[in-house]
A = this chain, B = another copy of it.
């Protein structure tokens, strides 16, 4: 859905000693011209973002999203975000969300070319209806990410742990999945290790345990995955980060792509081969993910 609320925030005018950032906020018409053509976000995908799920006006996992925003900023040599300012901007966006599910996006761009400071804004939009996807599941294809699982450690300039605006490849992978008759993709390293989906984390259930690819191999640490693992551990389940070969997905007892807005989408097929699902477990996971979480 198109954004119904947008707030431009001035990160340079912020101050951690401050506790009211209203003077650094400008409400925008989300459909109106707001950014100059010199914006480095548009010219080079040079910036970072977060997408926060909102349920009945409550933004989920704000602290984890802000922590990752700060981590992405550090990896990209962007000024550290003033978290109090962002938290207040998220509050303003959440207040503009009605009942049901919404999404708040945070964007921190390097700013205009040769400009003095970053540009930043927050939007809110009604979320697409994902209820059918959460029940029926999604068909995925595995796609080679080209990068080997050691690249993230070896070459930090590849920004593999940062959530940058440079998502053209992520979008192309989803289009490739659609071309192959699937709904989404799961990236695999060139040495055959499971990574993540273009916009979601991968969780497998095998032998009664829940496992997800280790974050060191060049993937984003998923906020939804972290929250879900905490919940599963509280319920007494065993959870682990592992280096998983691609075959582990085909052999899983069940598998999900989890993300902030679609939440847990059970994987119903991998590369055209059906995968068994656990409907009751999926429903209980999504009940948890739809409950208010901080």
Contacts and interface: CB of A to CB of B under 8 A. Distances in A.
Copies of the polypeptide in the assembly: 2
A26 to B, nearest CB: 11
A144 B148 contact: no
A34 B31 contact: no
A128 to B, nearest CB: 10
Contact of A33 (B33, B154, B162): B33
Contact of A166 (B77, B156, B168): B168
Contact of A148 (B148, B154, B155): B148
A284 interface: no
Contact of A172 (B105, B114, B159): B159
Nearest to A199: B44
Measured as residues with beta carbon below 8 angstroms from the partner, the interface class of chain A is 35 or more
B157 A43 contact: no
Nearest to A41: B42
A107 interface: yes
A86 interface: no
Contacts of A110: 171
Given A2-B114, A146-B151, A190-B151, A30 B34 contact: no
B41 A41 contact: yes
A46 interface: yes
A49 to B, nearest CB: 7
A234 interface: no
A158 interface: yes
B35 A37 contact: yes
A273 B96 CA distance: 58
Nearest to A39: B42
B144 A151 contact: yes
A154 B159 contact: no
A191 to B, nearest CB: 10
A255 interface: no
B30 A168 contact: no
A165 interface: yes
The 9 closest A-B pairs by CB, nearest first: A45-B45, A166-B166, A146-B151, A44-B167, A166-B168, A41-B42, A164-B168, A45-B166, A33-B33
Given A37-B121, A44-B168, A148-B190, 10 more contacts: A2-B113, A3-B113, A28-B37, A32-B33, A35-B37, A41-B45, A42-B47, A44-B170, A143-B155, A156-B176
